[in-house]
Amino acid sequence: MTQDAAHFAPFAQRMADEGLPNIFIAHFAHYYDKLRQGDDGLIAEGDIRPVRSLDNAERLSPRLTTIGSEAISRTVIIKLNGGLGTSMGLTGPKSLLVVKDGLTFLDIIARQANEIGAPLLLMNSFATDAQSLAVLRQYPSLHVNLPLSFCQHKQPKIDAATLAPAEWPDDRELEWCPPGHGDLYTALVTSGMLDRLLRAGIEYAFVSNADNLGAVLDPSILGYIIDKGLPFLMEVADRTAADRKGGHLARRPDGRLLLREIAQCPADDLPAFQDIERHRYFNTNNLWLHLPTLRNTLVAHGHELDLPMIRNRKTVDPRDPDSPPVYQLETAMGSAIAVFDGAEAIRVPRARFAPVKKTDDLLAVRSDAYLLTRDYRVVLAPERRGQPPAVELDAEYYRLVDDLDCRFPAGAPSLCACERLAVEGPFVFGPGVVARGEVAFRNRTGKCIPVPARLTVEDGVWPGEEPSP
């Protein structure tokens, strides 16, 4: 046994005992070797070039819409649905959170797929699979000749001091972590799903996050990828100040596109990374794949696409900062843009990127700033002119969904005419509250203050004078 094999043997045994497939074990071994060899996964600013311009999805011709519409039956909608929403206090799948008009993410996704007429496929984690499929049983029209889900893999955390498998007897589940959504490609193979899709005549896949309600299959973009014969297409949007930490698009010196995440940026290059004028486009994580090319590429590379490694340093118990440091090795599915010859990106409107990551986002989407259309698209109200309201909630009182629901028992205030809403301190909002312009609710007393029903605040702070402690 070689020295490298000896180091990896405990990982291989642990993964085999969990029933993980050999292809994935070899995949993890590939990145573990990179870690041992000192690969930090960093992409230096001097090794990339900014992307200056791209085709605009809002200016595509009606001809492409026709092409795409004719190919919808040959296209699968894949939603990444592995998250539990623990950062918002959830214990089950994040996609089962009620988000708009009494419907959950998954309800909206299922109804969108029915309206579009494309098959739906979830990439679940083992923690989300059973509950998510139980919800989809309410939509029998989705049950065609294809399964509704496949599962991503899991992998051991790595002790940062010893590079051995992390040990945490208090909770053995915390010794494992997901491999990042770059696992999509390997999981499609090991689950048999890729071959099954191809046998069913499915040629294209539209992939997006389940919590991004703006990501709806667009026939014009589908027509674009078909017309140009693209193997891979990434949707990107213009970066704003709010996107300084998000992954951005760039070019290698040979002209090939790549994705750089902030975890891949050397510390000295952070100013350039965060320069939204230099690096203009961020990855929405909405991707389009030509499945026959994906299969051929995977076979040609021994099922290893060699995506750039993301080395995340964390603690084995994420809730305990004093627990042992670990490495979690991840890959991003968007980084496959550097793998496929002829891969491209297309500029899309900000409306196609509306993720719900925090209760701030959830309150905004639940408000009248967003509308649910008859075909189950979640869109900004016309009055918003394409700009969502900025919502900042005090994390001490509003971070958890249960807290949000308790403090907004009648639902979200009206934010249709609100540019910025900041809430500091504990409040309970009555029904019919309206915020217009830039509004702050500020309570530094520590005691909960009720917000009167049908109160309207325009460009100001409420209460105007803070009550005495």
Hey, which residues are catalytic here? 357
- DSSP class of 166: P
Tell me the CA distances in angstroms from 2 to 7, 55, 81, 189, one per residue in order: 9, 50, 39, 29
| E strand segments, 66-219 | 75-81, 98-100, 103-104, 120-124, 149-151, 155-156, 158-159, 176-177, 204-209
Position 182: which residue type?
Answer: G
| DSSP annotation of 154 | -
Buried b (16+ CB within 10 A) or exposed e, 445-465: eeeebebeeeeebeeeebeee
Which amino acid is present at 391? V
Rounded Cα gap, residues 424 and 419, in angstroms: 17
Round to whole Å and give the CA distance between 174 and 183: 19
Residue type, 66: T
What count of other Cβ atoms lies within 10 Å of the Cβ of residue 29?
18
Rounded to 10 degrees, the C-alpha dihedral 383/385/388/389 comes to -50
> What are the structure tokens assigned to 295, written together?
């299969």
- State the first-to-last Cα distance of the chain, in angstroms, to the nearest integer: 70
Across 65-113, the runs of DSSP E, i.e. the strands, are 75-81, 98-100, 103-104
